[in-house]
Amino acid sequence: MKATGTKRSWRAVYDDAPKPQARRCDHPNCTHEGEYRAPRGRDRLNEYFWFCLEHVRAYNAAWDFYKGMSQDQIESEIRQSTTWQRPTWPMGSKPSGRRFNFTMHDPLGVFEAEAEEMRKAKTRPPTAEEEAMRVLELDGPLTLAILKARYKELVKLHHPDANGGDKVAEEKFKDIGQAYTTLLASLNA
C-alpha cells in the first residue's frame, strides 16, 4: 500500500501523539501532579502513593519502618536485612545438613589464625581414650556392656595360647588389655 500525502518527520508524529494524563498527588485536597512515589506501608513496599514534591518530603519525614514493632521484632528484622533475608552460616563451620565442604584460597592471610586452629585440630594426637577405642575397634557411644563384650571377643581371638605363642598375637593381646583398662577407667570416672 502506498502512503498518501506528504512525508511527516518522526518528531511531528511524536508531537501529535496523545499525552498521558498526569497523575494527581494522592494527598487529600492537593491539585499538583504526583511525580514521586512512596511505599504504602512496611508490608506493602511494592505498592505506592504518588505525591508532589512537597507532600513526598512530608511523608518521608514522618515515615517509620519499625513503627508498631517490639524491640525483639526490630532486632530480628535488622539481622535478616543485613543478609538480604538469606540464611547464613559462620565461615569454616559445617552445620548438619550441608553436603559439601570447601576451603578458601587466602593470599593475604586474613583467615590465617582460623586456618591454623583447624590444622591443629586435624593433626592433634589422639587422646588415650580415642587410641583405646581404635585398638578395640569400637566407635560411637560406649557402654560397659559393649566394652566387656568386645574385650572378651578380642581376648579369645588374640590370646597367645590360642595362637601357638605367636609374638605378634602376644603384643596385640597386651594392647587389648591396656585399652580395656583405659576405657574401663574412663567409664567409671
Task: Note the pLDDT tens digit of each residue in 73-82.
Answer: 989 888 888 8
Closest to 158 (Cα-Cα) out of 169, 144, 143, 171: 169
Q: What is the pLDDT of residue 51?
A: 93
> Is this structure's pTM higher than 0.75?
no
Each domain of the chain, given as residue ranges in start order, spans 21-81, 128-188
Which amino acid, 160? P
pLDDT score of 99 more than 60: no
pLDDT score of 19 more than 70: no
Q: How far apart are CA 142 and CA 148, in angstroms?
A: 10
Across the range 102-113, mean pLDDT stands at 75
Residue 154 buriedness (CB in 10 A; 0-12 / 13-18 / 19+) = buried
Q: Which residues pair with 49 in a beta bridge?
A: 38
Q: What is the pLDDT of residue 6?
A: 64
* DSSP states of 5-23: S----HHHHHHHSPPPPPP
Which cell numbers hold the place of 86?
538469606
32 pLDDT tier (thresholds 50, 70, 90): very high
Closest to 90 (Cα-Cα) out of 98, 176, 143: 98
Q: How far apart are CA 89 and CA 94, in angstroms?
A: 8
Question: To the nearest whole number, what is the mean pLDDT of the chain?
Answer: 82
Of 7-11, 142-146, 183-187, which range is least confident? Answer: 7-11
Does domain 128-188 sit in CATH 1.10.490.10? no
Closest to 42 (Cα-Cα) out of 80, 69, 70, 61: 69
